[in-house]
Chains A and B, each alone.
Chain A
Amino acid sequence: MKWTRYLRSWEFALFALLLLELGVLGLVNPVFFNLENLLYSTLDFTHILFAALPLTLVIITAGIDISGVSVMGLASITLGLVWVAGVNVFAALAVALLVGVLAGAFNGFFVSRTDVNPLVITLGTLFMFAGLAQGMPALLDKLGFKAYGSAGLAAYQYEGITGLPDAFIALTEGSLGIVPYPFLAVLFFALVLSLLLHKTRFGRYLYLIGVNPKAAVYSGVPIRRVLVWAYVFSGFGAALAGVMLTSYFTSARADLGGDALLPIITAVVLGGADILGGSGTILGTLLAGMILGFLRQGLLALGVTNDLIQVVVGSLLILAMATKQLLHVYGEYRLKRKALSSRDGR
């Protein structure tokens, strides 16, 4: 009896959809039946997954974090600048991740201490972090770090910082067997977040805050601390995405990830998280992100332009949501009819 419940879950539907999609793409273009190719192509969208997975936690609390796309650029340029200053590249990586954590804590502080809509707060920090990332090279020049080249660090503002060490580039070029490191890291990240969300008290608190924040306060949930942590994870994930992109594009840039907002939120929402809070799973986000990523790859391989893909992804998001909502409305309607007819019968 119990296993049929799994078959009816949203995650199973996503899993079936993913297999169906790969099957169709494979029939059109046999390249997609090559596992090595398939895994290699995940490199183009692992950054979406890195950011979308922890965003699921935030959306479950009925919050949202749109500043992640700016944190990516901020983490990337931080990594580059710290490395240029002569620090080991992996230590620079750690600093970049720390910046992501701090950015998330900043969001979390304002969200948990005020009643201001999280969209407004992360909108403010979206601008702020993007501005910081853009202005940081010039600011460091002003502060007297003139030593690097005649044009100063400001030159990096438009060109990005290149020439990063091979050991750092190998983070995305390397693979364990046929699984690229970034995809492996995403799976590990998903596993950790999944355990955190579904197997710990912290995870249950997230759902409770999303369903009924008042009930959460009155039942003694440390609501502020839990919220701050949710946003910290989101910032950390975005920084991971920024670091991964830096290694993948072999250049640290302030504007990395600027166009990732739509696919990130699409992945979380398609993955089954309710934007109004209270539902969502890490597995769902992972599967939805992969469906979207492979769809993009498949359409590109078929010669569909990037512009049309944007249209397709947007339509897909709306269609999926509309279907879900209308099914929900129909379900309620049926329940009411049933209640009415059983009353009339009496």
Chain B
Amino acid sequence: MKHLVRSREALVTLLLVLLVVVTGLFNPNFFKAASIVEIFNASLTLVLIALGEMFVILTRGIDVSVGATAGLAAVVLGTTLNLGWPVGTAVLAAVLAGTLAGALNAFGVTFLRVPPIIMTLGTLGIYRGLMRIITGGSWIENLPQSIKEPNLWGFLGVPFFVWATLALLALTAFVTLRVRLARYFYAVGDNETGAYLLGLPVRWTQFAAYTLAGTFAAFAAVVFTSQIGFVSMNAADGFELKAIAANVLGGVSLTGGVGTPVGAAIGALFLTAVHSMLIFLGVPGIWDNAFAGIILLVVVYVDYRVRSALELQRRQARIRGDAGGGA
């Protein structure tokens, strides 16, 4: 029970289920399988970006350029496709662009020692500027059908991209739990000096985190380009902040070393679901941001209260234990 109370994933999942039930009672249409699948489908972009951001936050860093990176990767994808490149090559180019953008952040943070928020704020401006310079400021339209096709594929009534994202999530969850190299993210974020003294490659772990954030942002770019079918200059605008919010909601701590991929994904799903639910509840879409902000504040505040209450309990138990016989 105590474990459940302490787990942010559980708290947010509970909140999500509660909201779903309330929305469903208000508007039974919400319970149709199609609406649920639609929410999953709409959340993919944020889930992918948040997963990448998670690696950075685990190492106690922050990356506010992931939205711009996704935008840049989408522009590379759209431009190369319209140049007549085959889909596979274009996707590869986009992923490579995102990875490189992430690696540039990584280089700045690990080798130039620029504080993460400054480095990525700088590249946020650079990548957004580059997007417009590459395209001349106009949207990329008339993309070939081949890129929109995968969005129409499905299995058991669930779109291909949902399956792909779930598979990637499962893989990430497994790797971060079971693979030694991936545990380095947690070690470095929890205690950088300790990790260094143990002989872990601290700088390279951080390097990998920022690079992965870029790669995942590029995955997101591929998904939303396929879903929407064009690339606007505002593509993924503001997603850097939403990705951070999703991670915090899902229990990935900004103080490093705490959090799971499933938590980050649930946080992202939650933020997207709020949007759909408000529509079903008949609240205009303009209230999205206000609700997202209030929920984020409530969750971190409740979490703080629970943590301090548990800490107090633990201390009192220790005092009683010491008085009772020193055990």
Bound state CA distance, A132 and B128, in angstroms? 27
Q: Does A42 contact B (CB under 8 A)?
A: no
Q: Which of chain A's residues have a CB closer than 8 A to the CB of B1?
A: none
- Sorted from nearest, which 3 A-B pairs have the closest CB atoms? A131-B290, A128-B293, A127-B293
Bound state CA distance, A321 and B137, in angstroms? 29
B245 and A123 contact, CB distance less than 8 A: yes
Interface CB pairs A-B, < 8 A, 27:
A110-B297, A119-B254, A123-B241, A124-B300, A125-B293, A126-B241, A127-B293, A128-B290, A128-B293, A128-B294, A131-B291, A131-B292, A131-B293, A134-B290, A275-B118, A307-B128, A307-B132, A307-B137, A310-B125, A311-B126, A314-B122, A314-B123, A314-B125, A317-B125, A318-B108, A321-B122, A326-B112
Assuming A128-B293, A131-B289, is B255 touching A315 (CB within 8 A)?
Answer: no
The stretch from A29-37, A262-270, A338-346 touching chain B is A262-270
Q: Does B26 contact A (CB under 8 A)?
A: no
Q: Which of chain A's residues have a CB closer than 8 A to the CB of B284?
A: 135, 138
A315 and B297 contact, CB distance less than 8 A: no
Q: Which of chain A's residues have a CB closer than 8 A to the CB of B112?
A: 318, 321-322, 325-326
The 8 A CB mask of B274-299 against A (1 = contact, 0 = none) is 00000000001011111111101100
Assuming A124-B300, A329-B113, is B293 touching A321 (CB within 8 A)?
Answer: no
Interface centre among B245, B290, B304 (most CB of A within 10 A): B290
Bound state CA distance, A276 and B113, in angstroms? 13
* Nearest-Cβ distance from residue B50 to partner chain A, whole angstroms: 13
The 8 A CB mask of B124-139 against A (1 = contact, 0 = none) is 1110111111000100
Interface residues of chain B: helix, strand, loop or mixed (majority): helix
Q: Does A166 contact B (CB under 8 A)?
A: no
The 8 A CB mask of A73-113 against B (1 = contact, 0 = none) is 00000000000000000000000000000000000001000
Instruction: Name the interface size band of chain A.
Output: 35 or more
Assuming A120-B300, A121-B300, is B123 touching A318 (CB within 8 A)?
Answer: yes
Q: Which of chain B's residues have a CB closer than 8 A to the CB of A318?
A: 108, 112, 114, 118-119, 122-123
| Nearest CB in chain A to that of B290: its residue | A131
Assuming A116-B301, A117-B254, A275-B118, is B125 touching A313 (CB within 8 A)?
Answer: yes
Residues 300 to 314 of chain A near chain B (Cβ within 8 Å): 305, 307-311, 313-314
A110 and B117 contact, CB distance less than 8 A: no
B113 and A311 contact, CB distance less than 8 A: no
Q: Does A50 contact B (CB under 8 A)?
A: no
| Nearest CB in chain A to that of B117: its residue | A275
Assuming A275-B115, A275-B117, A322-B108, is B286 touching A131 (CB within 8 A)?
Answer: yes
Interface on B for A, CB 8 Å cutoff? 62, 108, 112-115, 117-119, 121-126, 128-133, 137, 241, 244-245, 248, 254-255, 284, 286-294, 296-297, 300-301, 304
Q: Does A130 contact B (CB under 8 A)?
A: yes
Bound state CA distance, A124 and B122, in angstroms? 22
Q: Which of chain A's residues have a CB closer than 8 A to the CB of B117?
A: 64, 119, 265, 275
Interface on A for B, CB 8 Å cutoff? 64, 110, 114-117, 119-121, 123-132, 134-135, 138, 157, 261-262, 265-266, 269, 275-276, 305, 307-311, 313-315, 317-318, 321-322, 325-326, 329
* Nearest-Cβ distance from residue B286 to partner chain A, whole angstroms: 4
* Nearest-Cβ distance from residue B78 to partner chain A, whole angstroms: 17
Q: Which of chain B's residues have a CB closer than 8 A to the CB of A115?
A: 304
Q: Which of B121, B125, B291, B297 contacts A125 (CB 8 A)?
A: B297
| Nearest CB in chain B to that of A125: its residue | B293
* Nearest-Cβ distance from residue B308 to partner chain A, whole angstroms: 8
Q: Which of B128, B255, B297 contacts A124 (CB 8 A)?
A: B297
A321 and B119 contact, CB distance less than 8 A: yes
Q: Which of chain A's residues have a CB closer than 8 A to the CB of B293?
A: 124-131
A325 and B114 contact, CB distance less than 8 A: yes
B133 and A311 contact, CB distance less than 8 A: yes
* Nearest-Cβ distance from residue A235 to partner chain B, whole angstroms: 15
Interface centre among A115, A121, A314 (most CB of B within 10 A): A314
* Nearest-Cβ distance from residue A3 to partner chain B, whole angstroms: 32
B304 and A114 contact, CB distance less than 8 A: yes
Q: Which of chain A's residues have a CB closer than 8 A to the CB of B123?
A: 314, 318
Q: Which of chain A's residues have a CB closer than 8 A to the CB of B108?
A: 318, 322
| Nearest CB in chain B to that of A132: its residue | B290
Bound state CA distance, A329 and B113, in angstroms? 9
B297 and A317 contact, CB distance less than 8 A: no
Interface centre among A123, A130, A266, A329 (most CB of B within 10 A): A123
| Nearest CB in chain A to that of B300: its residue | A116
* Nearest-Cβ distance from residue B172 to partner chain A, whole angstroms: 23
Q: Which of chain B's residues have a CB closer than 8 A to the CB of A123?
A: 241, 244-245, 248, 296
Q: Which of B129, B245, B255, B287 contacts A314 (CB 8 A)?
A: B129
Bound state CA distance, A307 and B131, in angstroms? 8
Bound state CA distance, A307 and B114, in angstroms? 23
Q: Which of B121, B245, B297 contacts A265 (CB 8 A)?
A: B121
Bound state CA distance, A115 and B301, in angstroms? 9
* Nearest-Cβ distance from residue B315 to partner chain A, whole angstroms: 16
| Nearest CB in chain B to that of A311: its residue | B129
A308 and B129 contact, CB distance less than 8 A: yes
Bound state CA distance, A315 and B124, in angstroms? 10
B121 and A266 contact, CB distance less than 8 A: yes
B114 and A322 contact, CB distance less than 8 A: yes
